[in-house]
Amino acid sequence: MGTELISNLLEIYTAEDPMAFAHPDGDPWADFREVMRVEWKVDFTYKHVLGKYSKFFIELANHKFLTTECPNCGKVWGIPRPLCSDCMTITKWKELPGTGTMVSYSISNFVPAFMKVETPYVLAMVKMDGADTLFTHQLRNYGDIENIKMNMPVKVAYATEPVVHPMLLMHFEPA
Amino acid sequence: MEILDKERRVYVLGGGISKFAAERTDANMRDWINEATLEALEDSGCKIQDIEHTTTSYFSDHFDKQLKAGAIFHDNIGMCPKPNVRVEGGGGTGGLAIRNAYAYIKAGLCDSMIVIGAENMGRHVPSDVAQQFIALASDTDWEVQVAGFYIAYYALMMNAHMEKYGTTEEQFAKVSVKNHRNAMSNPKAHYPMDITVDDVMNSKMITYPYKLLDNCLLSDGAACIVFATEEWAKKHSTTWEKKPTIEVTGTGCGTDYMRLADRPYPEPGIMHFRGKQEGARQAYEMAGVKDPMKEFDCFEVHDAYSGVELVSYEDLGFCKPGESGKLMDQGVFDIGGELPTNTSGGLIGFGHPVGATGLAQGIEVLRQLRQEVDPVRQVELNNKRGGMDSHGGTGTFCAINIFERRD
Ligand SMILES: [Zn+2]
């Protein structure tokens, strides 16, 4: 046949008209219902720069939780920003105690497979003590799932095992 | 903001939709664009040779594995060498594309525009890879790395809403029941279904409070709308004044921080779509709408997840914050209710091929206002006005557009 020369060929099939309900006089695309499907594998790795908030990740490794404070308007962002987007002033690094209040959370029984996390897992939004906005990370070591409560106090805990991304050098735990 | 040229008006001449489905293995994106465009040209009574400009509406280069797909869509329908511009704002892409057509025509850059949108989101990649692609539409440095994905983000928002207002899972489930049911009279819908609140409540838990049937699905499909001025339509549209005349009378757009965490806390906080409130304010002001609940005959509301529809009711000003669940219980948003929403089935019932979704909303409103839809889902025209609400991310891009019938 010759199609065996195609190394990524998946299948050749005859498709049905998905809009037959709209075509009482016959399929206008009848000549185009032979369909071929092939496989296309894509695999690449990025060398990604963490930019001007890299220091946050560098200091996480030192068990310090840093954020930024605006020298003009005084806003302390939960997640650091090199430029205060409230007033467009270049910010300063500031260390926070790493404690806070969990103002919302979600418990997932599903996770996209590329994310290496055991289910169920808990995503928490935390109002960090000393910051004006929130920080998002996983809540772990909560014991029984019934222990998880809205507005519970939490604290930053640091990784003790190797991690695949610097963001995973930390997580939240009940305080 | 002031519309200076009140005489120059923008009309919706026609639309076309290619069947939304889980997986369109009979064809690919460019084929769906062709199908939707042929239908839109017939509906609008126009020839492609006369249309002056394209807007391309699609979201993801990952799903499509084709950068600059807009060039392919545009040359497929014979628009070269005429101008083309791509609009993108995640799930809000289609709504922004309609707004773009209005702006270009209103500004005089063209008198006519074809808006074409599609997304190839079906099962050509495994569903967890698809979830990965969608997760890439949140902050990849700060949110994705902690295993953030969209159902979980929306669950964080809804848990806060439930905590503050007492909104219930059953009220979310009613949105899913309504939208799947409405889709049953829409032959192009991906997911028409006659289900009960119990069916939704008993479906597989993904992230509390969201179960499988609370979520929209990934769909394949395309949609197309033709816009023009009256003068152009009189000259080039064979259906002008043979079909009811539909005008774009309002458009608004609002935004919010990419990350939920950065939004001003505690107010407006993480349980409302601030960008939607802003977009709706602009669109209503433009169209002279004071009381949206009473002044619209139908509204297509962004329902990527059932709770999103409820919160959107509040942010679109249909009711006060926290009241949407109660109104849902009363059937206010059912066909035959005070303000029927998602008569097409919405994202949950009709489907969500992202770049086509906002356009499909526009086509539903167009056909409702022309009284062309299946009588089962036809609304009563008291105001001759319909709205649509399209948003991306967790409300990072919001576009609200208003169509009105003139006769
Ligand atoms: Zn500042």
What is the interface pTM, i.e. ipTM, of the complex? Answer: 0.94
CB atoms within 10 A of CB B129: 15
Q: What is the pLDDT of residues A36-60, one digit of tens each?
A: 999 998 888 999 999 999 999 999 9
Contacts for B380 with CB less than 8 Å, ≥ 6 apart: B297
Same domain, B40 and B81: yes
Domain CATH code at residue B89: 3.40.47.10
How many whole angstroms from B282 Cα to the centroid of ligand 1? 27
- B246 is a domain residue: no
Give me the number of domains chain A comprises.
2
Q: What is the pLDDT of residues B131-164, one digit of tens each?
A: 888 889 999 999 999 999 999 999 999 999 999 9
Same domain, A145 and A67: yes
Range of the domain at A34: 3-38
Same domain, B353 and B383: yes
Question: Could you say which of B128, B187, B261 has the minimum Cβ distance to residue A125?
Answer: B261
Same domain, B390 and B307: yes
Q: Confidence band (pLDDT; 50, 70, 90) for A113? A: confident
- Which residues does chain B have within 8 Å of residue A134's beta carbon, measured at their own beta carbons? 260-263, 265, 270
Ranges of beta strands (E only) in B301-372 are none
- B4 is a domain residue: no
B265 touches chain A (CB under 8 A): yes
Same domain, B97 and B209: no
- φ, ψ of residue A127 to 5 degrees: the values are -85, 105
- Which residues does chain A have within 8 Å of residue B270's beta carbon, measured at their own beta carbons? 103-104, 125, 134
- Which residue in the block uniquely carries the two structure tokens 């889902």? B377
Chain B's closest residue to A17, CA to CA, is: B26
Question: Could you say which of B131, B261, B266 has the minimum Cβ distance to residue A136?
Answer: B261
Same domain, B332 and B312: yes
- Answer yes or no: is pLDDT of A19 > 80: yes
Same domain, A20 and A71: no
Range of the domain at B85: 11-124+219-236
Same domain, A26 and A100: no
- Residues of chain B short of pLDDT 70, as ranges, are 1-4
pLDDT value, residue B2: 67
B221: left (phi over 0), alpha (psi -120 to 50) or beta: left
d(CA B66, CA B83): 20
pLDDT value, residue A114: 80
Chain B's closest residue to A28, CA to CA, is: B35
- A77 is a domain residue: yes
Last residue of a domain, one of B204, B236, B268: B236
In three state form, how does the secondary structure of chain A look?
CCHHHCCCEEEEEECCCCCHHHCCCCCCCHHHCEEEEECCCCCCCCCCCCHHHHHHHHHHCCCCEEEEECCCCCCEECCCCCEECCCCEECEEEEECCEEEEEEEEEECCCCCCCCCCCCEEEEEEEECCCCCEEEEEECCCCCHHHCCCCCEEEEEECCCCCCCHHHHEEEEEC
Same domain, A66 and A10: no
Same domain, A26 and A78: no
Structure tokens at B313: 């009711």
How many whole angstroms from A86 Cα to the centroid of ligand 1? 5
End-to-end CA distance of chain A: 69
How many whole angstroms from A71 Cα to the centroid of ligand 1? 7
Structure tokens at A27: 């399929």
Same domain, B353 and B326: yes
pLDDT value, residue B130: 85
Question: Could you say which of A15, A33, A106 has the minimum Cβ distance to residue B155?
Answer: A106
d(CA B238, CA B213): 43
- B190 is a domain residue: yes
Contact (CB<8Å) B141/A18: no
Same domain, B281 and B165: yes
Give me the number of domains chain B comprises.
2
pLDDT value, residue A74: 98
The residues in B 214-253 lying below 8 A from A, measured between CB atoms, are: none
Q: What is the largest CA-CA distance in chain A?
A: 74
The residues in B 120-179 lying below 8 A from A, measured between CB atoms, are: 126, 128-129, 131-132, 135, 141-149, 151-153, 155-157, 159-160, 163
- A46 is a domain residue: no
Same domain, B31 and B105: yes
- B407 is a domain residue: no
Same domain, A32 and A67: no
Distance from CA of A49 to the nearest CA of B (A): 10
How many whole angstroms from A69 Cα to the centroid of ligand 1? 8
B55: left (phi over 0), alpha (psi -120 to 50) or beta: beta
pLDDT value, residue B145: 92
- Answer yes or no: is pLDDT of A21 > 70: yes
pLDDT value, residue B1: 61
Same domain, A87 and A129: yes
Asked if A104 contacts B159 with a C-beta cutoff of 8 angstroms, the reply is: yes
Q: What is the DSSP letter of B8?
A: -
- A66 is a domain residue: yes
d(CA B171, CA B151): 18
Same domain, A59 and A29: no
